[in-house]
Amino acid sequence: MPRLSGRTIAAGAVTAALAVIAPLMGATVLAAPITFVTALPVAEDQEVTRFQNVSDIFTRDPTALSRDEANVQFPSVFAYGPTSTLALFGTVNQGVNFMNETIAGGRQYRETSGFGDTLFFARYTLIHIDEPAETWRLAPLVGLYLPTGYYDKADHLGVLPDTLQNGSGSVDPYLGVAGTWKDLLQEVDFDATYRHDFAASPGFQFGDQARFDASWQFRILPWLMPEKGVPNYLMGVVETNVEWYGRNREAGVINNSTGGLIWFIDPGMYYGTAFWQFGAVVRIPIVQNLYGFGRLKETIGIWSFFEYYLTMPALPHWLRSGP
């Protein structure tokens, strides 16, 4: 049984605190993207909980190491809407990363597991336009990554590769913007975000991260919605993600074999009811422009989620931003 560190216990406490928000049932379902949560719809006095499984497989090793790598993560997302314009998010990640590679004439298995970094951010709806047949929303967001994961885990062979580490080792600011357009049959969500990574120690610093995501969701069933109530429904989804990673610094020197740009296309679908929904996409890399030599490229990924909605007790009048 693995030994629990103070950092793992602290991250577990964060998960527990977020998960025990009072479960009073009731809400209406809105469509939402699968590969990003910044555009997740959160109504006033509503709590949304999303559990995800993120599995990415890396092969196509150009070196003699013949590496195979897989990252299997289980992010948990908790969102709450204290007002109609403000939404508060917390994301806790845990999982396992493992690799097989050929070293010193033999095949070696290397693994890390535990909590990753924890993200807290707030999103404020700056523009919200409701028209008879369509809706527009635009919302800036700002937050912090807390270093509940590790950046320097090691095994019997030494410090593990960057891709097997599960944290940055520093408190990192996070900002961006998310938006939504929807009509009676479809919805488009998008975001653009940036994470600045500070130095974890005098000897190491992860590169900054920027990404752009977009999701197109179209209703398959039912084709005609009833005049009252929210029926069960099936949605088709096509998403895309463009991810850029800056180069790492090691001992103050830029590591030119880190960082790069990846572009994914993600087809899938999900099923929803008035209180919960689940779905999945297949994540297919279209472009992998990785810096340096000998980089391990992603082959395919499968992302799935289960999400449910709760109605929370209303905040006192004096805590609300409106009249």
pTM, 2 dp: 0.86
In a domain, residue 193? The reply is yes
DSSP letters, 88-147, are EEEEE-EEEEEEEEEETTEEEEEEEEEE--EEEEEEE--EEEE-SSEEEEEEEEEEEEE-
For residues 152 and 170, give the distance between their C-alpha atoms in angstroms, rounded to a whole number.
12
Which candidate, 277, 279, 180, 196, places its Cα nearest to that of 244?
196
In a domain, residue 85? The reply is yes
In a domain, residue 139? The reply is yes
For residues 99 and 71, give the distance between their C-alpha atoms in angstroms, rounded to a whole number.
9
In a domain, residue 323? The reply is no
**C-alpha angle with apex 189: 226 to 259, nearest 5 degrees?**
150
Question: Structurally, how many domains does the chain consist of?
Answer: 1
In a domain, residue 1? The reply is no
For residues 23 and 21, give the distance between their C-alpha atoms in angstroms, rounded to a whole number.
6
Buried b / exposed e across 71-88, counting CB within 10 Å, b at 16+?
bebebbbbbbbbeebbbb
* Cβ proximity of 45 and 83 under 8 Å: no
Q: For residue 311, what pLDDT is reported?
A: 75
> Scanning the structure block, which residue is given the tokens 């964060």?
14
Which candidate, 166, 190, 154, places its Cα nearest to that of 54?
166
In a domain, residue 222? The reply is yes
In a domain, residue 322? The reply is no
* Cβ proximity of 323 and 43 under 8 Å: no
Half-sphere exposure of 8 (CA within 13 A, CB side): 10
For residues 323 and 308, give the distance between their C-alpha atoms in angstroms, rounded to a whole number.
29
Q: Is 161 left (phi over 0), alpha (psi -120 to 50) or beta?
A: beta
- CA torsion, ordered 267, 271, 274, 276, to nearest 10 deg: -80
Tens digit of pLDDT at every position of the chain (323 positions): 444 444 544 445 444 444 433 233 333 335 789 999 999 999 999 999 999 999 999 987 888 888 899 999 999 999 999 999 999 999 999 999 999 998 877 889 999 999 999 999 999 999 999 998 899 999 999 999 999 998 888 988 888 888 899 999 999 999 999 999 999 889 999 999 999 999 998 788 999 999 999 999 999 998 776 666 667 899 999 999 999 999 999 888 999 999 999 999 999 999 998 889 999 999 999 999 999 988 889 999 999 999 998 876 665 555 555 44
Dihedral of CA 309/312/318/323: which sign? positive
CATH for 241: 2.40.128
Peptide bond into 313 cis (omega under 30): no
* Cβ proximity of 170 and 197 under 8 Å: yes
180 CA to centre of own chain? 18
* Cβ proximity of 49 and 24 under 8 Å: no
* Cβ proximity of 223 and 252 under 8 Å: no
SS3 of 314, please? coil
SS3 of 163, please? helix
Range of the domain at 281: 6-315
In a domain, residue 321? The reply is no
